[in-house]
Structure 1
Amino acid sequence: MKLAIVGGGSTYTPELISGFTRLREQLAIDEIALIDTDSQRLDLVSGISRRMLTRAGHPARLVATTDLVAGVADADAVLIQLRVGGQDARESDETWPHEVDCIGQETTGPGGLAKALRTVPLVLSIADTVREHAKPDAWIVDFTNPVGIVTRALLEAGHRAVGLCNVAIGFQRRFAANLGVEPDAVQLGHVGLNHLTWERSVRVGGHDRLPQLIEGQLAELADEVELPEALLAQLGVVPSYYLRYYYAHDEVLHEQRHNASRAAQVRAIEQELLSIYADESVDEKPEILERRGGAFYSEAAIQVLAMMQGEDSVARVVNLRNDGMLPFLPDDHVIEVPARFNGAAFVAEPVDALPDDVRGLVSAVAGYERLALDAAVHGGRGRTLRAMRAHPLVLQHDRAEKLTDLLLAANRPFLEWA
């Protein structure tokens, strides 16, 4: 298969290449096309990627190009992993909401709305090019945040697309290690929206081991997601780290105001990575790449690509159309649950009814997501304000007004209508 990676100049890319070399038996790739508008970064990343493939004896041909049409031409699958505005835009998302006492985060709350407005139009434009030049049955695998909103944009526009996040596979790996089993022996009861999910069961051999984990490792689990033990004990589930922005908003806001932004940390790591990539003697994934984030990123991508090729029949967590799985949401909304690939489409595994508190929060965030997509596709301050006000971390009209003005001031270079 030919795999095209849009945003191939990302410092993440060698993590993908490492996965392709380690897991070559799971996925046969003949050609990898790295596509990026930043020719300097693309040159460095493609250089180390080629050296890694050569070192591993992987037969795939790697090409690097700034030409989107050439890169996606005849591709079997296209992975999108871009960040509009780079780390500077991310740092903006993480800071201006503080002026109105809201958390700053690139996928959740006001910052997440800003990222959606910047990202959706570009991804839709890229997808149109994929539809025209890739193979007729090519799939788009979206890693670009906010994954739920971006994936729904793609599906609403009629593209063959699935969204992917590394939160679930991270939990699967950690639970497997705790239980002393292989990762694929663990099936998660993972449910929610992208970056708003809960692990409701951890099944091994048909038996749910989550109650045992919560009882015996409560302190460790709570520490991992940085939430109170009492909360996990009462919920009886393990929330993802991103629930901390809701369950501990004020604590997180205090931390953000007194610590360097994540964007600043990542920017420094990226500069070090690019220096390493420039060294032509380096032909392995640098250890520092683990600090960049995205643990198990390559494994998650390979699993989904293998599913599409008919090489993996295990249920994997993806972002896909609801289609009645969560009956309180519209069918066309995008949810994040385990699913299987039937040869033509991803089909969600059955989902048990959610408790009232979880259902309420999912409903509220889903309402915001729908308004956010409307604003991203059609533009306008009024649509942006309505989406901002609908987010559960905002709600107050005056606060939403101020946040909308801050968002527009920080993002005018990226918004044609602003």
Structure 2
Amino acid sequence: MEAKIITIVGGGSTYTPGVVKAILSKKDTFSVKEIRAYDIDEQRQEDVAIIVREVVKSTCPECKFITTTDPKKAFTDSDFIFAQIRVGKYAMREKDEKIALKHGAVGQETCGCGGLAYGLRTIYPMVEILDYVEKYANPKHWILNYSNPAAIVALALKKLRPNARIINICDMPVAIMNTFADILKCDPHEIKPYYFGLNHFGWFTDVWVNGESRFEELRQHAIAHGYLDAALDEQHWEPSWVHTYGNVKLMMERFPKYLPNTYLQYYLLSQDVVDDANPEYTRANEVMDGREKTLFDAINHYKETGEYEDDMFVVGAHGTFIVDLAESLCKENGGRYLLIVKNEGAVADLPDDAMVEIPCYVSPSGIEKVSVGHIPTFYKGLIEQQYASEKCLVEGAIENSYDKVLQGFALNKTVKSSTQAKAILDEMIEANKEYWPELK
């Protein structure tokens, strides 16, 4: 396999050192000759690059690493583009979460009103990236997109750039499967999942390990313990994640048929989540005081002393998933993954244009979807409501329509009434005026 060029969009992300470490950990099977970090925030990217350069030097010094704010330099002849942008950074995430909670609704970055707000910030910056890539990259490039909220971004990009060579992904199902592996005491790579839904809004319907279904064992564990009593994925050790994994128990007690994505707590337990939340200290604050602080403390320590501890950044699900997927796109019988793809009949009861998250086989030939078939009415109804919310929002962004964006907020299951939806939307318009399309 010819050595590849990879561009990481959002090079200033706290995830970048882990992604680079994941890329270079596979150097014997997935050869990469150059890694480029691209970000519009030059100073932040240069700070993060201090740590990344140490990762490269200690892992694969022959690999070239550069940083740039120039799209031409970033994307020319690039084979893979790993996108992980955060428009508005954590400051806007914090505002989204606290505005929603102030009005008594779920405050979360990708779900509920926070997810809708984040989507309106992210759609057009992602379109700009797709256009740069189309102009400069290797014609056979692949964009592997982590940029949240993935469901809204995927739906919008399919409408605005239907021919883009992009695969939208999420590491949350992978992190959950890592927890399944801990519960079942097996290797995560031995797990074969069956799953359907939208991103951050789906269910596992079966889980096989080495040719045998272990679903009932997992189901009984989840009813008794949620997804706890297992070694949590290293990215998800904070108190809020422990609480989230525990909330699966409540969802399973009420709806025990399938194993839920943890993000479903924001829809099925929305009032519980609001009641448990601290409106003055949200998940955004936890991340800023945790992962963000850890990285920048390491950067500042390096600046002062020249010392770097290689073991302080563990390669988690975020890094391994995207690199495994890239490698699979380069080899026959590459692998089976949960991806966000256009439905087109894969889930029989949902609209063809919905962007669903389902199992897919990946190889150099592209993506082959696994048919899910029919789904029960309860799950169909939940998904249709969520899809309608996201579709109204996307149409509102494209048409600059206040009415359609309000419909998206009012339809969302985390919102109690259109009165609450309007109050949240109007405050969010003011907070996001630097980022959102103008709504009329």
TM-score by length of 1: 0.93
Q: Is the 8 A contact 1:118 1:414 kept in 2?
A: yes
- In 1, the alpha carbon distance for the partners of 2:250 and 2:271 equals 18
Taking the TM superposition and a 5 Å limit, the aligned residue runs for 1:280-295 are 280-282=306-308, 284=310, 286-287=312-313, 295=316
Q: Figure out how many residues of one structure are paired with residues of the other and give that number.
A: 413
Pick the aligned partner of 1:398 from 419, 433, 436.
Answer: 419
> AA paired with 1:107?
T
1:271 corresponds to 2:288: no
- In 1, the alpha carbon distance for the partners of 2:333 and 2:286 equals 36
1:229 corresponds to 2:249: yes
Pick the aligned partner of 2:130 from 127, 136, 141.
Answer: 127
Farther off after superposition, 298-307 or 373-382: 373-382
Secondary structure at 2:17 match in 1: helix
Partner of 1:169: 174
Partner of 2:234: none
Pick the aligned partner of 1:181 from 162, 180, 186.
Answer: 186
- In 1, the alpha carbon distance for the partners of 2:347 and 2:369 equals 11
Deviation of 1:53 after TM superposition, in Å, equals 1.5
Summarize the Cα distance change of 1:332–1:258 in structure 2 as closer, same or farther, 3 Å threshold. closer
Deviation of 1:177 after TM superposition, in Å, equals 2.4
Q: Is the 8 A contact 1:121 1:376 kept in 2?
A: no
Taking the TM superposition and a 5 Å limit, the aligned residue runs for 1:203-222 are 203-216=208-221, 218-221=223-226
Deviation of 1:320 after TM superposition, in Å, equals 1.1
User: Could you give the per-residue CA deviations for residues 5-52 of structure 1, whole angstroms, max 9, x where no partner exists?
Assistant: 110111110110121232323422111100011222211222221211
1:303 corresponds to 2:318: no
Q: Is the 8 A contact 1:172 1:187 kept in 2?
A: no
Farther off after superposition, 88-97 or 17-26: 17-26
TM-score by length of 2: 0.89
> AA paired with 1:410?
A
Deviation of 1:371 after TM superposition, in Å, equals 1.2
Give the CA RMSD over aligned residues. Answer: 2.0
Partner of 2:231: none
Taking the TM superposition and a 5 Å limit, the aligned residue runs for 1:127-146 are 127-146=130-149
Taking the TM superposition and a 5 Å limit, the aligned residue runs for 1:374-389 are 374-389=395-410
> AA paired with 1:169?
V
> AA paired with 1:322?
N
Partner of 2:14: 11
For structure 1, the residue ranges without an aligned partner over 5 or more in a row are none
Deviation of 1:229 after TM superposition, in Å, equals 3.5
Deviation of 1:237 after TM superposition, in Å, equals 2.1
Summarize the Cα distance change of 1:118–1:210 in structure 2 as closer, same or farther, 3 Å threshold. same
Deviation of 1:58 after TM superposition, in Å, equals 5.0
Secondary structure at 2:197 match in 1: strand
Q: Is the 8 A contact 2:195 2:204 kept in 1?
A: yes
Deviation of 1:221 after TM superposition, in Å, equals 2.7
Secondary structure at 2:77 match in 1: coil
Summarize the Cα distance change of 1:230–1:112 in structure 2 as closer, same or farther, 3 Å threshold. closer
Deviation of 1:59 after TM superposition, in Å, equals 3.0
Taking the TM superposition and a 5 Å limit, the aligned residue runs for 1:45-56 are 45-56=48-59
- In 2, the alpha carbon distance for the partners of 1:335 and 1:180 equals 30
Farther off after superposition, 108-117 or 408-417: 408-417
- In 1, the alpha carbon distance for the partners of 2:376 and 2:308 equals 51
1:357 corresponds to 2:378: yes
- In 1, the alpha carbon distance for the partners of 2:437 and 2:390 equals 21
Summarize the Cα distance change of 1:374–1:32 in structure 2 as closer, same or farther, 3 Å threshold. same
> AA paired with 1:331?
D
Q: Percent sequence identity over matched residues?
A: 26
- In 1, the alpha carbon distance for the partners of 2:311 and 2:404 equals 43
Deviation of 1:66 after TM superposition, in Å, equals 1.1
Deviation of 1:258 after TM superposition, in Å, equals 5.6
Secondary structure at 1:412 match in 2: coil
Q: Is the 8 A contact 1:196 1:243 kept in 2?
A: yes
Deviation of 1:191 after TM superposition, in Å, equals 1.6
- Runs of 4+ that moved beyond 6 A: none
Taking the TM superposition and a 5 Å limit, the aligned residue runs for 1:243-262 are 243-257=264-278, 260-262=281-283
- In 1, the alpha carbon distance for the partners of 2:311 and 2:198 equals 31
Partner of 2:36: 33
Q: Is the 8 A contact 2:38 2:69 kept in 1?
A: yes
Partner of 2:102: 99
- In 1, the alpha carbon distance for the partners of 2:430 and 2:246 equals 33
Deviation of 1:124 after TM superposition, in Å, equals 0.4
- In 2, the alpha carbon distance for the partners of 1:61 and 1:173 equals 32
Deviation of 1:381 after TM superposition, in Å, equals 1.6
Deviation of 1:342 after TM superposition, in Å, equals 4.4
> AA paired with 2:117?
A
- In 1, the alpha carbon distance for the partners of 2:83 and 2:121 equals 15
Deviation of 1:350 after TM superposition, in Å, equals 2.0
Farther off after superposition, 217-226 or 103-112: 217-226
- In 2, the alpha carbon distance for the partners of 1:7 and 1:189 equals 31
1:155 corresponds to 2:181: no
1:313 corresponds to 2:337: no
- In 1, the alpha carbon distance for the partners of 2:401 and 2:43 equals 35
Summarize the Cα distance change of 1:340–1:58 in structure 2 as closer, same or farther, 3 Å threshold. farther
For structure 2, the residue ranges without an aligned partner over 5 or more in a row are 229-241
- In 2, the alpha carbon distance for the partners of 1:256 and 1:10 equals 26
